A and B are shown apart, each in its own frame.
Chain A
Amino acid sequence: MKLHLTPAPHVHSPQTTRALMGNVLLALAPCAVAGVVIFGAPALVLMAVSVLSAVAGEACWQRLTGQKVRVNDLSAAVTGLILGMNLSPRAPWWLAVVGGLFAVVLVKGLFGGLGDNFLNPALAARAFLLVSWPRYLTTWAAPLAADAVSGATPLANPSGYTLGQLFLGNIPGSIGEVCKAAVLVGFVILLCTKTITWHIPVSLTLSTLVFCGLLGYNPIAAVLSGGVLFASVFMATDYVTCPMSTKGQLVYGVGAGLLIALIRKFGLYPEGVTFAILLMNVATPLIDRYTKRRVYGYEKEAKA
């Protein structure tokens, strides 16, 4: 019998993974619905293409490398959906295909599959798409709703939108990110199903609030602009790429918030969340190392 070593968390039974991923999909549903309501059919198409590409891509890769095809654990579907939600509704469909494949093959598959990657696949794919085809990801669409406002996103035009608009999402932006109300519903679902804990989303959001405020932005507007809430709930909390201890998670959240503020203020990219979380993903192994939980029953040696 081949013994397979993995680090915690040990979620490898397709049943358990499937249940977890099912919860995530459920939590994503409000955002997906909101996205379609606000942006219409293009949003639905992009999300569908993204999911299909991710699932098909993973199935093909697993076939190609002689593994059991495990797409029914739904992890690829989740990756695809999250990626789709990170796109501008005006993005061409092939962008979703490229992104989906990049995520499941390069960022996840080449490293061994579920649990073996060190970057969040959807986020890394989004970064790749952003760097490769910037204009497709930064051309926005006006929302369809009646009292919609067209024009630059809140990140580019902070004073152009009321907090109410930012919260409900009648604004230009990425499909899944705009409706913060839906994100919060999703957050509650994830908490209630015990899929995630509050530490990362809360620390990330608060940290962004504080640091953006310190750097001269309206803190509440900063948190409600762009993908901060969506990312903090659905992307930063990816088990595989975030620290395992609560102390580590708090460090991770604070670090991400700081980076978001710095990138938004001084960097080239208006968003910042994508890269901030990716950078924290990279730092996660180190964070884990230095915030190890004391194993139960182990006592520190008495100092001589």
Chain B
Amino acid sequence: MNILLFMIGCVFTHNIVFDRLLGVGDAGKDRRVEVAAVYGLAVCAVMTLTAVCAWAADSLLLTPMKLDFLRVPAFTLIAILISLLGQVCLGKVKPAWLEQLEGCALPVAANVAVLGVALMNAEAGYSFAYALLNGLCSGAGFLLAVVLMAGVREKLEFSRIPAPFKGMPITLISAGLIALAFIGFKGMA
């Protein structure tokens, strides 16, 4: 039951974009819904794998050797390698999707959310299971956020937004209103 609550928490109550405030810039980028879905899945995959590898690196290498301070560079390197690997794999399996991502594999790694989750796991001292679930569910939450925001953006395409607010300002305000709605999930996990 605890695990289920933890998972629900990661996806909804502590949604990585609307509650933990990571990956906001990426979530709000101008994309169609389909592209947003692919991007979200990519980030989710990278986030999960990075979380797992980072956990391994941290528990097996860094912490025993008291090298915690190397976490940041180490996790960054892991994220870079994983997303490069992912880009290569995707290119072989589903090139169409890769095109949609417009070759932005590295920005996927550079996503604040990816590194953030890995660091969160390390600092909270999660076990393997929780680290994996945190990565996976935060990723799912990210996917949800990206798709929802893309949907709202599409609706706003015809809106007569005042000129200074067009673009990022209104995106942030929209995100704020969505975050307000997500407060409804408080208390669930």
Q: Chain A: residues with CB nearer than 8 A to chain B?
A: 4-7, 65, 106-107, 110-113, 115-119, 124, 127-128, 131, 259, 262-263, 266-269, 272, 274-276, 278-279, 281-286, 288-289
Contacts and interface: CB of A to CB of B under 8 A. Distances in A.
A12 B34 CA distance: 31
Contact of A116 (B33, B159, B177, B186): B159
A65 B162 contact: yes
B66 interface: no
A116 B180 contact: no
A128 B184 contact: no
Given A110-B162, A269-B187, 17 more contacts: A5-B158, A106-B173, A110-B165, A112-B160, A115-B159, A116-B159, A116-B160, A268-B186, A268-B187, A274-B184, A275-B184, A278-B181, A279-B182, A281-B181, A282-B178, A285-B152, A286-B33
Interface residues of B, number: 28
B130 to A, nearest CB: 21
Contact of A267 (B155, B165, B185): B185
A259 B181 CA distance: 12
Contacts, number: 99
B147 interface: yes
Contacts of A127: 180-181, 183-184
A6 B155 CA distance: 10
A107 B3 CA distance: 37
B99 interface: no
B181 to A, nearest CB: 4
B128 to A, nearest CB: 27
A112 to B, nearest CB: 3
Interface in B161-189: 161-162, 165, 170, 173-174, 177-178, 180-188
Contact of A124 (B170, B180, B188): B180
A106 B162 CA distance: 12
B20 to A, nearest CB: 18
9 contacts: A5-B158, A111-B156, A127-B184, A131-B183, A267-B185, A267-B188, A275-B184, A278-B181, A286-B33
Nearest to A130: B183
Contacts of A116: 156, 158-161
A275 B12 CA distance: 13
Contacts of B170: 110-111
